[in-house]
Amino acid sequence: MASGPIMLVPMCLVENKNEQFSVNQKALKILSKISQPVVVVAIVGLYRTGKSYLMNCLAREKLGFPLGSTVQSETKGIWMWCVPHPSKPSHTLVLLDTEGLGDVEKGDPKNDSWIFALAVLLSSVFVYNSMSTINHDALEKLHYVTELTEFIRAKSSPVSNGAEDSTEFVSFFPDFIWTVRDFTLELKLNGRPITEDEYLENALRLIPGVNPKLKNSNRLKECIRHFFPKRKCFVFDRPTNDKELLAHVEDILESQLDPKFRKQTDNFCSYIYTHAKTKTLREGVKVTGNRLGTLVVTYVDTINKGSVPCLENAVTTLAQLENSAAVQKAADHYSEQMAQRVRFPTDTLQELLHLHAACEREATEIFMEHSFKDDQREFQKKLMEILKNKKESILLQNEEASAKYCQDRLEQLSTDLMESISAGTFSVSGGHKLYRKEKDRIERHYWQMPGKGVKAKEVFQKFIESQVTIEKSILQTDRALTQSEKALAEEQAMKEAAEKEQAWLRQKNQEQQQQIEAQHRSIQENIVQLREKLETEREDFLRDQTRILEHKMKIQEDFLNEGFKKKSEEMEAEINHLRNLIETTEKEKTPWISQALDHLATEASAILSAPAKLVDKGLRWLGSLFK
C-alpha cells in the first residue's frame, strides 16, 4: 500500500460496549495515513453464518477476522482490515466485518439496526450473508432494510418536491450482494436452469395479496429494489461435510475443502476484486482512507447524540476539513515552487510575475483536484487571498534584494567620489568638470553591471537626488566657469535629473500596469479552472440523475409486469420530477455556470486589489537608503 500502513491483522474500528459506540483512535490513525481512494466492502448477517471467513478470503489470508466455532458471537462492533487492492493500482481495499445480527446477548434491538445502517453508509459494496435459501424467513431476518428510513437521512432538510427523503438513497447507497451459505437447492425455476442473480430477483418479486405478512414481505422487497439498484447473488455449498473440520475451518487445508465450495469462493472474491467500485459520495467525490475516517467519526458522534446520521451533514463536515487541507496543500505547493524557481533579484517585474502565474496555476489545479462542495467559493477565495499575500511578500523581497544589491554596488562605485568630495578635491578651478567626469564614470559602470533587478532606476535616481546639492555647491565654487556657464551647467544637470526621474516614473507606471494585468490573468485563471470543475460536476450530476431515472423506470416497469398497476402509477410523479430536473439542468447550462463565475470574478477583483501597506513599506525602506 503505497500511501498507508500495511495491516497484518484486522483491528476494531467501531467499538460496541454496553450498547454505546466509540471509534478506535488507533484505527483512525491508520485510515488517516491512507491517501489512496478506497474500495470498502462491508459484510453483515446473523451471527455464526460464516461472514468472517469470506472477509478473510478477500484479504487472501486464512487467519485474520476471528472465526467462532461456538454459538457465541465472536465479532463485536465493526472490525476493519486495510489491504492493498489486488487488481486496482493505487487503491486500498478496506474490509469491514460486523458483529452478528440477532445476538441473544444484546439488550437493545436498535443496536443491530445501527450496525446495519453504519455498514450501509460506509461501504461501496454491502454484502448480506445468510444461510440455506432466500425464502420468507430469510427476508424477514433482513427487516433492517425497511428500518433504514429511520436510521439514515439523505438531506438535512425536507426534499423540496415533497417526496420522501428515502427516494435519495439510491444516489449514494452501495451495491448489494446477497451471499447464501450452505445452499442445497437446485438453481431452477419452473424446470428451467437459472443463474444466481435470477434466483435473487425472483425472490424479490412482489406477490399480490392482502395478507399482512405478505404486505410486510412485499414492503421489504420494495425497499431492497428501490434502495439498491445494483444487486448480485452468490450461493455456496457447505465447505465440508465433516462437522469436526467445519468447526475449525480456518485450520484445515485448502485440499480438504469441497472443490465446489472453493470455486464458489474464488468466484465471489474475483467479482469483488473486479467489480467492486471505489467508495464515492455525491457528485463523484472519491473517498480516501482519511475521508473514510472522518465519515466514521461523524456518523458515530451523531448516533451517540441520539440523532440520525445525515449524509448531507456528513459531507458538509468532510468538505470543511478537506477543503481547508486542499487550501493548505495548494499554498504549500506555491511556496515550495516559488522558492525553487525564483532567484532574487529578478531582472524585471514581468519575469517574477510570470513565475508567480505558473505557480499560482499549479496551486489552483491542486486545490480544484482535492476540494469539493465549495458551493460559496469560500475556500477558493481564501486560497486566492493567501496566494496574493504570498506574491506581495515575494515582490517585496525581490525589491529589497534589488535595492540592497544596487545600493551596495553604488557605494563601492562611488567610494572614490565621496572621498574626493570630503577631501575638497573638487573645490578648485575646473573642479566641476572633474566631478562630472567621475560621476559619469560611476553611472556608466553602474548600468553596465548585471543583476541589478527591478529597483535599479529607483536606487540610481535616489543617488542622483543625493548629489544635487553637492554638485550645485561644487559648481558655484568653480572659478574656471563664468556665471553664464555655471547657469547653463546647472540647467543641464537639472534637465538630466528630470529625464532620469521621468524614466523611473515610466518604469513605475509600466510595473503598475503589469501588476493590473497580472491580477486580471489571475482572475481569469481561477475562472477557467472553476468553469472546468463546474462543468465536470454538472456532467456528474446529470449522469447520476439519469442513472437514477433509469432505475426508477425499471422498477415502474417491473411493478406493471408483476400486476401492481397502482404502485406503478404512484411512481409517475417521482419519475416526472427527475425528468424535469434533468431537462432543466441541461437547458440552464450556461446561465447557472455563468452566474457562479460572475460572482467569483466580482469577489476576486476585490480580493486581488493591491493593498497599499506592502508598497508603502517598500518605499519607506528604500527612501532611507541615501539619507
The whole-number average pLDDT for the span 205-225 is 90
Distance CA 296, CA 15 (A): 12
463 or 2: which leads in pLDDT: 463
Using pLDDT thresholds of 50, 70 and 90, give the confidence band for residue 160.
Answer: low
Q: Which of 105-119, 332-346, 564-578 has the lowest mean pLDDT?
A: 105-119
The whole-number average pLDDT for the span 546-559 is 92
Q: Is a pLDDT exceeding 90 seen at residue 483?
A: no
327 or 605: which leads in pLDDT: 327
Phi and psi angles of residue 573, each rounded to the nearest 5 degrees, phi first:
-65, -45
Q: Is a pLDDT exceeding 70 seen at residue 207?
A: yes
Q: Is a pLDDT exceeding 60 seen at residue 623?
A: no
158 or 38: which leads in pLDDT: 38
Nearest alpha-carbon partner for 350 in 458, 507, 529: 507
C-alpha cell at 166: 428515502
Which pLDDT does position 622 carry in this prediction?
Answer: 39
Strands (E), 569-612: none
**Percentage of the chain exceeding pLDDT 90:** 58
Strands 175-181 vs 125-131: parallel, antiparallel or unpaired: parallel
**Amino acid at site 588:** E
Q: Over the stretch 9-56, which tens digit does the pLDDT of each residue have?
A: 999 999 988 778 999 999 999 999 999 999 999 999 987 667 888 999
Q: Over the stretch 492-524, which tens digit does the pLDDT of each residue have?
A: 878 887 887 888 888 889 999 999 999 999 999
Phi and psi angles of residue 342, each rounded to the nearest 5 degrees, phi first:
-90, 135
* 191 dihedral zone (left: phi>0; alpha: psi -120 to 50; beta): left
Cα–Cα separations (whole angstroms), residue 408 to 130, 190, 329, 622 = 84, 98, 38, 13
CB atoms near residue 203 (< 10 Å): 18
Using pLDDT thresholds of 50, 70 and 90, give the confidence band for residue 589.
Answer: low
Q: Is a pLDDT exceeding 80 seen at residue 107?
A: no
Share the mean pLDDT of the chain. 87
Using pLDDT thresholds of 50, 70 and 90, give the confidence band for residue 163.
Answer: low
The whole-model pTM stands at 0.84
Which pLDDT does position 209 carry in this prediction?
Answer: 84
Which pLDDT does position 72 carry in this prediction?
Answer: 41
Which pLDDT does position 315 carry in this prediction?
Answer: 92
Using pLDDT thresholds of 50, 70 and 90, give the confidence band for residue 104.
Answer: low
The whole-number average pLDDT for the span 165-191 is 90
Nearest alpha-carbon partner for 523 in 378, 329, 385: 385
